[in-house]
Structure 1
Amino acid sequence: MVSPELALALKRTLELLLLPPAGPLWLVLLGLWIGRSRAATGRAIAVLGVALAVALSTQGVGRRLAAPLEREAGPALDEASLRALMARSDAPQAIVILGGGVRSDRHARPERYRPHPRTLERLLHGAWVARVTGLPVLVSGGAPSGHEVSEAAVMKRVLETQLATRVRWAEDRSLDTGENAQRSAELLRADKRRRVLLVTHAVHMRRARAAFEKAGLEPVPAPTGFFGTPVHSDWLEWLPSADGAAMNWVALHEIAGRLWYRLRESV
């Protein structure tokens, strides 16, 4: 039986090796190596690697990879939708906000650890959902490798000190989405709560929802961060950019995450 820590390390190593920017570069190197004996074949493989590297750095490709994943999350909830949910007999009983990473900066003041922009987007949305519904909040995320503070601790601090939102539960041991669900479920079931509003990015929602259902909860999607639906579109989205590279990485990370969970369940 593979330990959770080893499985996580293996997963992250494979991500770094296969996802952009490394993945397409392996094709380029393979093409150069094959080109020593088969020039035409090697050149074609190398050109394919370069083309993939460029394409996976554009917002146009990133949005089109993310859009079908985000559609599975369902629509964004507005205030009227939330109030209608709360008026039902099976209304949600809590809000769960999933962490999306933290950043460490030893020069930062007053706090060294701060939420990653993905986490901050989820916190902003979760705080708004809490204000509309009045439901208690659970934050979920353990301490990444090399970090002394858990995501949950950072999220709790930001919600309570910056967003005027009280956190009732801080789940600070999980290292991936599956553990987010399992450990959050333990805290919520102890308080006799099963139906929850689940806050995460739209691209991540299907996998997160499945994990929480497997853990015995009844998640109601409250997605945020729909970057697969552009506000406007022009030719600039087809030029390589840092934003484009980030969009593609997030979408491919989610696709890889789904494949990983299927593989792990089949072993």
Structure 2
Amino acid sequence: MFFILSKTLHFLLMPIIWVVVLLLLAVFLKSPKWKRNSLLSALGLLLLFSNPLISNEAWRAWEIEAKPISEVDNYDVAVILTGVTSYREDVPDRIHTSKGSDRFLHPLQLYRMGKIDKILITGGSGYVLADRIPEAEQIEKILLMAGVAEEDILTESNSRNTRENATNTAAFLQKHPGFNKVLLVTSAFHMRRAAACFEKAGVKADSFTADFYGYERRFTPDELIIPNASAFNTWHVLIHEVAGYLIYKLLGYC
């Protein structure tokens, strides 16, 4: 039930939905005052969410900063959270990744440098109605093709959200003692919720962020005044994550 509610919330928190609703109100409301207010509100939201500077400042405020690789210690295991692969029925003969693939590419770099001994991938299928190959298994295939030794890859493929990632990983580590130093890897925007969930589950881990949306400040015309569709789109990711963090806090998940 929680999984389905999460997917519903994901839809309702889209800024484009808010704009469409306001535009529909502007069309169908009878009061000229409320028609005008709805139209102006829709325009205001479009300008606000499409401004790159405002979007970037919001991302910079929320994301956890990167830790230089030179400062990363040696770890027994890196725990990678999934959410970066997709499935296409029309092209089923390969693995499809999306933004966020740094979640496993950066640990791969750390593995090659000898900073992590094992890689634990946690994540099942993110589909509500369809039965797909768990993401952990898909990323495992990529790492194997990249030359990671099979015995150095561990998978947990039942989790469907961050809380389950944490609780299932905690159970996995209890059954496989010896992993004293744990490195948690996920996207910079997701690390607040993930780290809190893992701490709540009793997993002591250091954080290593990847996959950044925020970038260095640029006070140029295209950042200050020119609307950008990409800025509008990424707001949905940020709003959804902040809402998810608050809900998890309310429910005691983190």
Q: Normalising to structure 1: TM-score of the pair? A: 0.83
Asked if 1:68 corresponds to 2:61, the answer is: yes
Give the structure 2 partner of residue 41 of structure 1: 34
Q: For 2:183, what is the secondary structure of its paired residue? A: strand
Asked if 1:243 corresponds to 2:230, the answer is: yes
Asked if structure 1 preserves the Cα contact closer than 8 Å seen for 2:163 and 2:197, the reply is yes
Q: For 2:209, what is the secondary structure of its paired residue? A: coil
Asked if 1:134 corresponds to 2:116, the answer is: yes
**Whole-angstrom CA distance in 2 between matches of 1:265 and 1:215:** 11
Displacement of 1:110 = 3.1
User: For residue 220 of structure 2, what is the amino acid of its counterpart?
Assistant: D
**Whole-angstrom CA distance in 1 between matches of 2:226 and 2:174:** 48
Question: 101-110 or 248-257, which moves further after superposition?
Answer: 101-110
CA RMSD of aligned residues (A): 2.2
User: Which of these residues, 230, 241, 254, is aligned with residue 254 of structure 1?
Assistant: 241
**Whole-angstrom CA distance in 2 between matches of 1:164 and 1:149:** 21
User: Which of these residues, 142, 160, 164, is aligned with residue 175 of structure 1?
Assistant: 160
Aligned in 2, Cα 1:231/1:18: closer, same or farther, shift over 3 Å?
closer
Q: For 1:218, what is the secondary structure of its paired residue? A: coil
User: For residue 107 of structure 2, what is the amino acid of its counterpart?
Assistant: G
Question: 56-65 or 144-153, which moves further after superposition?
Answer: 56-65
Displacement of 1:45 = 2.7
Give the structure 2 partner of residue 221 of structure 1: 207
Matches within 5 A, 1:1-267: 6-34=1-29, 36-37=30-31, 39-70=32-63, 73=64, 75-82=65-72, 85-86=73-74, 92-108=75-91, 110-111=93-94, 113-118=95-100, 120-132=101-113, 133-145=115-127, 146-161=130-145, 163-166=146-149, 167-192=152-177, 193-230=179-216, 232-237=218-223, 238-265=225-252
Displacement of 1:18 = 2.7
Asked if structure 2 preserves the Cα contact closer than 8 Å seen for 1:67 and 1:228, the reply is yes
Displacement of 1:214 = 0.8
Question: 257-266 or 211-220, which moves further after superposition?
Answer: 257-266
Deviant stretches of 4+, over 6 Å: none
User: For residue 104 of structure 1, what is the amino acid of its counterpart?
Assistant: Y
Question: 213-222 or 236-245, which moves further after superposition?
Answer: 236-245
Q: Which runs of 5+ in 2 are unaligned?
A: none
**Whole-angstrom CA distance in 2 between matches of 1:252 and 1:227:** 13
Aligned in 2, Cα 1:28/1:260: closer, same or farther, shift over 3 Å?
farther
Deviation string, structure 1 residues 173-230 (Cα, Å, up to 9, x no partner): 1111111111111112222225411111111111100011011111211111232123
**Whole-angstrom CA distance in 2 between matches of 1:21 and 1:242:** 11
Count of paired positions: 246
User: For residue 184 of structure 2, what is the amino acid of its counterpart?
Assistant: L
Asked if structure 2 preserves the Cα contact closer than 8 Å seen for 1:30 and 1:45, the reply is yes
Asked if structure 1 preserves the Cα contact closer than 8 Å seen for 2:13 and 2:239, the reply is no
Q: For 1:228, what is the secondary structure of its paired residue? A: coil
Asked if structure 1 preserves the Cα contact closer than 8 Å seen for 2:140 and 2:153, the reply is no
**Whole-angstrom CA distance in 2 between matches of 1:42 and 1:265:** 41
Asked if structure 2 preserves the Cα contact closer than 8 Å seen for 1:141 and 1:171, the reply is yes
**Whole-angstrom CA distance in 2 between matches of 1:159 and 1:99:** 13
Question: 25-34 or 176-185, which moves further after superposition?
Answer: 25-34
User: For residue 18 of structure 1, what is the amino acid of its counterpart?
Assistant: L
